[in-house]
Amino acid sequence: MNKDISYATNYHEATNHSEVSLMTSRHYLDWNNRPMPFKVYTDSLSTYTLPTDFPTPTMDAITSICNRHYNHESSTTSDPDMFNRNITLKDLSEILFFSAGITRVMRYNYGTYYMRAASATGALYPIELYIVCRDLSPNLKAGVYHFSPAEFNLTEIRSGDYMTQLSIATGNNSSILNSQITIIFTSFAWRNAWKYQARSYRHWYWDSGVIAANLLAITTSMNISSELVMGFVDDTLNNLLRLEKQKEATILMAAISTRSSSEKVEIGDAKKLEEIQRIPNLPSLKAVPLSKSGEIDYFEIWRLHQASKLDNKNEVKGWINRYDHNIDKTVGKTSDTKQESSLYNPIKIISEDSSIKKLISHNDGVLNLGETILMRGSTRKFTVTPIPFSILSVILSCGTTGTPMDFLRNGDTVIDIYLIANEIENLTRGGYFFNSKSNSLEVLKRHVSREMSGYLCLGQSLFSDASAVLFLMCNLKNILDILGNRGYRAAQFEAGVIAGKIYLSAYAQGIGASGSTFFDEAVTEFFSPHAENKSPMIAIGIGRPDYKAKSGKVLPVKLTREQLLTGNI
């Protein structure tokens, strides 16, 4: 089914926003049925409390976010054996907290929100994290675990070492085989569908992408390698995690290891394939219902998800290699687009002899990574004052340093960045394309009214006030032709990762950011003819907040099991 791309094409077109679709929608939010933001098992399972005395990452945020190829030369660690050590339970706690832990509690008349280290659309947090690990010191045996940010603990799903089976399910992926920890991302469909209906399938990948951006930055700061994996046998992983069908599904894996590439072993060196035990079939585990009055099942979501599944390791291998073999068709190239921008001189954001480090030095007061994640929020009101061009430059650079994913090679990308500049010092208001190959902005339209960016983002004044709004776009037809329906997952996810980098690099430099959905075809039309074959994946506004936000905290709250079972949160 993955090769029949009509599933992805039809879904995307059916869930596009337009002025008409919003005006005719009868959807409303039933606040009494708002989904619970935490997964709570009703089965009696073993739990393990995570240590809370983990360190806060002190590497400067831009280095962590922007360039994963410094060979950790700017690391603050003094441990010469960092690369040879084993990952500990305290390391895992640090990764989990700064990726998906609770950093703030916001209380309103209509409910309490437990805000996380990474943003989530609608603050609904549909993404769950599971850990597959080998023995970790101290006191955590090899097994499969669910992470609870509310209790800051792990619940044991299975015992035993499943890394070899995971590697087979990912097409003999050596990064998985050599990882000490693999973190698996899943999505609860109803959590976001409550607000965003069938369109919420896009949000699965946006929300997982911003968590992954945090995770990549955290592991970089810890001198730990990580690789994101989207090619896997879906049913195998869903079975491993004992997920309820049509409720929750696996969408991503992150392989985490301190082992260098020269030390890695391949699947054939570990065991003979025929001797490897299959993952036992166990019943799914029941959890407290997400909503009091039940859930609405949006068939469009599950139809596309089913059509984008991979059924065996050979399909996985073919899918991973397909993009590389069709590299001449990749979306990041601009040579086949109409160059209205050629009327104007490109505006360089980095001179040819500059490095990211030199660019950072132009901006005083860059926060370290821990400070940045705790400060990060979603800006609710921007001032209309300009931000320096150098801040925008760093944000664009951070967003285009590549994502370590199984199907991408050498910094390839499926995402292009377009933007509307409203208030950037020394930059004329207008529409631009960021050419990451030449590190330059190409002018597409001059003297654009700032109301345009707000209109494109569903008429929200927040995005008219933003200094700039960045639109992450993709030639969707090309990527679907190459990767099939699963390419839809990949495009939305990579856009989510880049959005996460934009968030972090904005807050690291003392400004704010906020994500948005949009009028799909209107965005394409605005940036055409340059973007006439491209579809927007996600939009992010950046600018100075019109208020002073307070920093979050490390573990300000831990809920009890009784609170979670009764829903008294």
Q: Where are the domains of the chain?
A: 29-40+51-324, 326-543
Long-range CB pairs of 280-283 (<8 Å, 24+ gap) are 281/239, 282/158, 282/239, 282/242, 283/242
Predicted local distance difference test score (pLDDT) of residue 361:
59
CA–CA dist 267, 438 (Å, integer) = 40
- Fold match between 29-40+51-324 and 326-543? yes
Predicted local distance difference test score (pLDDT) of residue 43:
87
pTM of the model: 0.93
Low-confidence ranges of the chain (pLDDT < 50): 68-83, 274, 329-343, 352-353
- 123 CB contacts (<8 Å, ≥6 apart)? 37, 113, 115
pLDDT tens-digit profile of 545-558?
A: 999 888 999 977 78
CA–CA dist 55, 58 (Å, integer) = 9
Nearest to 370 by CA among 223, 247, 221, 250: 221
Judged by DSSP in three states, 74 sits in coil
Predicted local distance difference test score (pLDDT) of residue 527:
97
Predicted local distance difference test score (pLDDT) of residue 469:
98
Predicted local distance difference test score (pLDDT) of residue 110:
75
Backbone phi and psi for residue 226, each to the nearest 5 degrees, phi listed first? -150, 145
One-letter-per-residue 3-state SS of 315-328: HHHHHHHHHHHCHH
What's the CATH number of domain 326-543, 3.40.50.1110, 3.40.109.10, 1.10.599.10, 3.40.1350.10? 3.40.109.10
Asked if 123 contacts 116 with a C-beta cutoff of 8 angstroms, the reply is no
Among all chains, which residue has been given the structure tokens 């895992």? 92
**Angle in degrees, CA 471, 524, 192, rounded to 5:** 55
The CATH code of the domain at 29-40+51-324 is: 3.40.109.10
DSSP assignment of 304-355 equals: HHHHT---SHHHHHHHHHHHHHTGGG-TT--TTS--GGGGS--EESS-TT--
Predicted local distance difference test score (pLDDT) of residue 337:
46
Nearest to 450 by CA among 374, 503, 394, 383: 383
Predicted local distance difference test score (pLDDT) of residue 80:
40
Q: Which helix (H) or strand (E) holds 216?
A: helix 200-221
